[in-house]
């Protein structure tokens, strides 16, 4: 009997057991419930993805600003996605969380995400952060922890492309499209960076979203409600403090994408995903040109500088710095007050006898320096003394 039992037991081991179904990939709260992903759901999702994630800042209310990396840290091409700087524009954040899951982890491109660029604003469903500051108007003065975190990422990673995800409300007749896009218009952006940024918007993002049945157009254009024809630019101007422009001034191909918040949540998120497809195609097909334009921008050491105007608006004569100074002299007190901001922008200075500092224009941050230090700038960080000789 014992032998029979043993034989039956052994035979049972040969009976195939149905395999457990393999678990699916992680899903965002939005994908699971149709509601915007909560803070806790976001953190659970990021842990499940097991991607390199670091804290790059802390908000006034104690929330983390995080950076997620997909791909090797040493790739020659770096793409940065800034997701939902305005807390009441959630679709971009959802698209970023979804997209980071499907990108290749071993490739020739480093993809960086700031998946929740305004955590306090997202929690409160407000455009600004917990202090009411519009983060996307703070990329020069760096008053907010959120903008400072992004400045540090741009300084340290030197992204070749910066894709900024937003939404706009139903505000016809100004905006009558599903998706709007815009490149850096600031005149201090190097020619190659400006040209490729416009190519990214017009020749990659536009066809990608329109192939999916979306209408699209240039952001900030007033459209005649009767004829549908563009009339004038009313937003998205050359303000250097907007990330799209600041990114261009820091040598990255810049792109603002705005989806229409009048659509369903799923339609809005999918619109952003189609725009992300366009940016990925642009990077795949133009890596050499991107790297060349980026390097040329960093090498600029001469030429006029501008305090106003845009690529679609001539500057006033008084806004043209035809013969820029050699540099700007800061007092010791000014340097102590603003050393952190200068460091976050990657601006270099030299010590002078007596404790003053000189910031020479012949450095990579050349295009930014007068906007931050010259009294003629719209919103300078400080007012330093221009000098003809360094």
Concatenating the DSSP letter of every residue in 112-165 gives: EEES-S-HHHHHHT-SS-TTS--GGG-TTT--SHHHHHHHHHHHHH--SEEEEE
Whole-angstrom CA distances from 248 to 20, 23, 220, 293, 357 are 51, 42, 18, 11, 27
Q: What is the mean pLDDT of residues 335-363?
A: 97
Q: Which domains does the chain have, with CATH numbers?
A: 32-299 (3.40.630.10), 305-387 (no CATH)
Whole-number pLDDT of residue 237? 67
Q: Give the CA radius of gyration of the chain.
A: 25
Kindly report, residue by residue over 27-68, the tens digit of the pLDDT: 999 999 999 999 999 999 999 999 999 999 999 999 999 999
**Minimum mean pLDDT among 99-103, 143-147, 223-227, 358-362: which range?**
223-227
Residue in 94, 198, 240, 258 annotated catalytic: 258
Banded model confidence at residue 19, pLDDT cuts 50, 70, 90: very low
Does residue 12 surpass a pLDDT of 70?
no
> Using one digit for the tens of pLDDT, what is the confidence trace for 150-176?
999 999 999 999 999 999 986 656 778
Judge whether residue 341 has pLDDT over 70. Answer: yes
Q: Give pTM, 2 decimals.
A: 0.92
Rounded-to-10 torsion of CA 97, 101, 107, 112: 20
Element (H, E) at 68: strand 64-70
Is 198 marked active-site?
Answer: no
On the question of pLDDT at 74 being above 90, the answer is yes
pLDDT digits (tens, 9 = 90+) for 195-216: 999 999 999 999 999 999 999 9
pLDDT of residue 284: 97
Q: How confident is the model at residue 70 (pLDDT cuts 50, 70, 90)?
A: very high
Write down the mean pLDDT value for the chain.
Answer: 92
Looking at the chain, the whole-number percentage of residues with pLDDT higher than 70 is 92
Q: Please check whether residue 74 is in contact with residue 87, taking contact to mean a CB–CB distance below 8 angstroms.
A: no
């Amino acid at each position: 009997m014992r032998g029979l039992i043993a034989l039956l037991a052994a035979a049972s081991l040969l009976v195939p057991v149905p395999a457990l179904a393999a678990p699916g990939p992680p899903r965002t709260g939005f994908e699971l419930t149709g509601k915007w992903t909560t803070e806790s759901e976001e953190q659970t999702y990021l842990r499940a993805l097991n991607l390199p994630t670091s804290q790059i800042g802390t908000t006034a209310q104690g929330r983390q600003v995080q950076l997620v990396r997909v791909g090797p840290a040493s790739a020659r091409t770096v793409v940065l996605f800034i997701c939902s700087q305005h807390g009441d524009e959630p679709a971009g954040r959802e698209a970023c969380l979804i997209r980071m899951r499907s990108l290749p982890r071993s490739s020739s491109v480093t993809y960086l995400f700031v998946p929740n660029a305004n955590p306090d604003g997202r929690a409160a469903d407000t455009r600004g952060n917990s202090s009411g500051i519009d983060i996307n108007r703070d990329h020069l003065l760096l008053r907010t922890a959120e903008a400072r975190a992004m400045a540090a990422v741009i300084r340290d990673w030197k992204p070749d492309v910066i894709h900024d995800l937003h939404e706009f409300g139903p505000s016809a007749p100004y905006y009558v499209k599903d998706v709007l896009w815009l490149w850096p218009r600031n005149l201090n952006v190097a020619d190659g960076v400006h040209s490729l940024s416009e190519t990214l918007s017009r020749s990659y993002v536009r066809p990608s979203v329109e192939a999916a049945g979306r209408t699209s157009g240039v952001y900030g254009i007033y459209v005649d409600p009767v004829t549908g024809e563009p009339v004038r630019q009313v937003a998205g101007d050359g303000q250097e403090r907007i990330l799209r422009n600041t990114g261009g001034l820091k040598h990255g191909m810049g792109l603002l994408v705005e989806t229409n918040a009048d659509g369903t949540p799923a339609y809005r998120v999918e619109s952003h995903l189609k725009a992300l497809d366009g940016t990925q195609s642009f990077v795949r097909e133009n890596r050499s040109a991107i790297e060349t334009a980026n390097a040329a921008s960093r090498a600029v050491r001469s030429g006029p500088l501008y305090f106003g105007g845009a690529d679609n608006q001539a500057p006033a004569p008084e806004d043209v710095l035809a013969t820029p100074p050699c540099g700007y002299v800061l007092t010791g007190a000014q340097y102590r007050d603003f050393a952190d901001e200068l460091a976050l922008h990657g601006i270099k200075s030299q010590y002078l006898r007596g404790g003053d500092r000189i910031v020479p224009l012949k450095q990579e941050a050349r295009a930014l320096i007068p906007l931050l230090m010259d009294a003629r700038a719209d919103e300078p960080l400080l007012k330093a003394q221009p000098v003809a000789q360094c």
